[in-house]
Structure 1
Amino acid sequence: MAIRVLAHFLPGDSVLEVVEPESDWLDIRWCHEDDDETLHRELADAEVIWHVLRPLSGDDLRRAPRLRLVHKLGAGVNTIDVAAATELGIAVANMPGANAPSVAEGTVLLTLAALRRLTVLDQATRAGRGWPTDPSLGETVRDIGSCTVGLVGYGNIAKRVEQIVHAMGADVLHTNTKPDGTDSWRTLPDLLAASDIVSLHLPLTADTDKLINRAALDTMKAHAVLVNTSRGGVVDEPALVDALRDGRLAAAGLDVFATEPVDPDNPLLRLDNIVVTPHVTWFTVDTMRRYLIEAIDNCRHLHDGRDLVNVVNGR
């Protein structure tokens, strides 16, 4: 008997190419993340949800009496009410490492764009100002290879970023929950003080909420760049606005925000020393293919009565 899957996103051709060969045992229904009417209708029969970003609340999960698995297409499960899922006997699984190549490249992209003032120069060029007239350009723009890059969090993505920037000539420091015996490990305050580029690679938890607060930002170098491709809530956004506006931080590259989709009135969006993208560093054909392969494999486990892979709530 086919397993009913509610895929909480709309497919492109490359997605359909991966899933169509499984149509004899997977009954997939597609739902745009903004379409709550379809979501609530389809929840009634869903056995599996393939979840991306739109938060799944306990109320959502209670609308799904047949639901057995919420499979996050990604690593962070902060957008799922895991406690409610556990109470309802629903397994929650994720995909650690599947998006690491894409997010690592996106991190370096944002780093370069912020470090090299890409958006400002792009706008100036489009406005007909072909040669830079700002003398500070040659005084502040730097090569990654001349910088110390500090990685806050040291999982799959951070380690891939480390490989890339090492190849570009950068010195790399990292911090994590405890010393790991390597020469590059630092405490968070020491890493922030020593780094020209600080890149965040953390889950959003009670311990990491607003970890990069006003005091943390004040310890960073005035010419430093902050890059966040993890979760927006790790950064105290009002404090970041002040630091960027006051010149206590040179620039930032952000793919994530405390509230998503980001509010058009968010003051971060009015600053010209920031580069932003809408939580898409993971979103490539290659990552989607890896996600789908893992999601289908776990559905096969469910279909065959085998233990699920990468379950985060002990079900």
Structure 2
Amino acid sequence: MRVLLHYAMDYAGPGLDVASCPEQDDERFASLLPDAEVIWHVLRPLGAADFDRAPKLRLVQKLGTGVNTIDLDAAAERGIAVANMPGANAQAVAETALLLALAALRRVRAFDALTRAGRGWPAPPSLTGGELGGRTVGLLGGGRIATLLRGMVEAVGARALFTTRTPRPSDPSWRPLDGLLRESDVLSVHVPLTAETHHLLDARRLALLPEGAIVVNTARGAVVDEAALVAALASGRLAGAGLDVFEREPAAASNPLFALDNVVTMPHASWLTHETWARYFEVAAENCRRLAAGAPLLHRVR
């Protein structure tokens, strides 16, 4: 089976003919599409034009959970199955959310710049940070990543609350969204990007957060209104942000968030660990075996 891995990573497992392609190399990607029966997809959007160049394509296997970068309707129209792998990157993303929260609280970006410039000691009082212990962490979402992160923040002495689309009034830690925001010293985003969640955190909702709150986003950039976030951070009403995702990716160097020293950033890489890749390849290879055998796919989305 001919597999196109749309990432600069080698796969050495048995039984599959896997050709890798960097996500930025559109020319190589186009040259590999005609023979591809399966695409192992990471982040570069896939749409009708790509599918039309791939007449043998039978499956788009998302390496991860979010399928917002795949045109599901176009795939369905062409009889192409789409599957994902929920939970495969949960440990890595939860750990990164904790990392970004701590980095924002402790002003790591500003300290790093001063230290590299030879001006890090004595530490300037203006960069006095805060501790996560004793604060309230609001989790926007109740899935696997949010559940793992809840255990992590509670282990360092924080109080964890969460919200979900379906009310859970029997759980004392559950809050409706606006109520969660009002109590969250740190807000961590863990919901998929859909029509309902696009700009879910707009200017009105960001204003509900306590003054000096921290926003962490390892989900999808457009869940947060980026312009409203910039304004809240620049004004000092929000103390900081830890961001792995942006409304437009890859984020341009001119993004105004990058000019703020109270923002810690990563390039949509919270999932990127050796352990995550091992789990990705295990599920992806299994679904190729199932496809070849005509068996039901794991985690089929469409």
Shorter-chain TM-score: which interval? over 0.9
Q: In the alignment, which residue of structure 1 is the partner of 2:155? A: 167
- Structure 1 residue 62 displacement after superposition: 1.3
Give yes or no for contact 2:161–2:173 (8 Å, CA) kept in 1: yes
Q: What is the match of residue 72 of structure 2?
A: 82
Please state how far the C-alpha of 1:127 moved relative to its aligned partner.
Answer: 2.1
* Aligned AA (1:156): R
Instruction: Please list the CA deviations of residues 218-243 of structure 1 after superposition, one character each: whole Å capped at 9, or x if unmatched.
Output: 11111100000000010101100000
Q: Report whether the alignment pairs 1:184 with 2:165.
A: no
- Once residues 107 and 214 of structure 2 are traced to their aligned partners in structure 1, the CA distance between those partners, rounded to angstroms, is 11
Hey, what's the Cα distance between the residues in 2 that align with 1:281 and 1:105? 8
Give the whole-Å Cα distance in 1 for the aligned partners of 2:122 and 2:107: 12
Q: Is residue 50 of structure 1 aligned with residue 48 of structure 2? A: no
Q: Which runs of 4+ in 1 moved over 3 A?
A: none
Aligned twin of 1:7? 5
Is the CA contact 2:111–2:120 (under 8 Å) kept in the aligned structure 1?
A: no
Q: Tell me the SS of whatever aligns to 1:144.
A: coil
1:288-299 aligned at under 5 Å gives the runs 288-299=277-288
Partner of 1:308: 297
Aligned-partner Cα distance in 2 for 1:182–1:259 = 36
TM-superposition CA deviations, 1:107-163 (whole Å, max 9, x none): 10111100100111111122222434533444xx22111110000011110100001
Structure 2, gaps ≥5 residues long: none
Q: Given the alignment of the two structures, is residue 263 of structure 1 paired with residue 252 of structure 2, yes or no?
A: yes
Q: Distance in 2 between matches of 1:260 and 1:308?
A: 30
Q: Give the percent of matched residue pairs that are identical in Structure 1 and Structure 2.
A: 53
- SS of the residue 2:87 aligns to: coil
RMSD: 1.1
What is the SS of the residue equivalent to 1:215? Answer: helix
SS at match of 1:306: coil
Q: 1:135 aligns with which of 125, 143, 148?
A: 125
Secondary structure of residue in 1 paired with 2:241: strand
Farther off after superposition, 82-91 or 129-138:
129-138
Equivalent residues, number:
301
- Cα deviation, residue 10, structure 1: 1.6
Q: TM-score, normalised by structure 2?
A: 0.97
Task: Measure how far apart 1:253 and its partner are.
Answer: 0.4
- Amino acid of the residue matched to residue 153 of structure 1? G
Aligned amino acid, residue 151 of structure 2: Q
In the superposition, the TM-score normalised over structure 1's length comes to: 0.93
In 2, the alpha carbon distance for the partners of 1:7 and 1:206 equals 28
Other-structure match for 1:91: 81
CA 1:160–1:307: 2 relative to 1, 3 Å: same
What residue number does 1:219 align with? Answer: 208
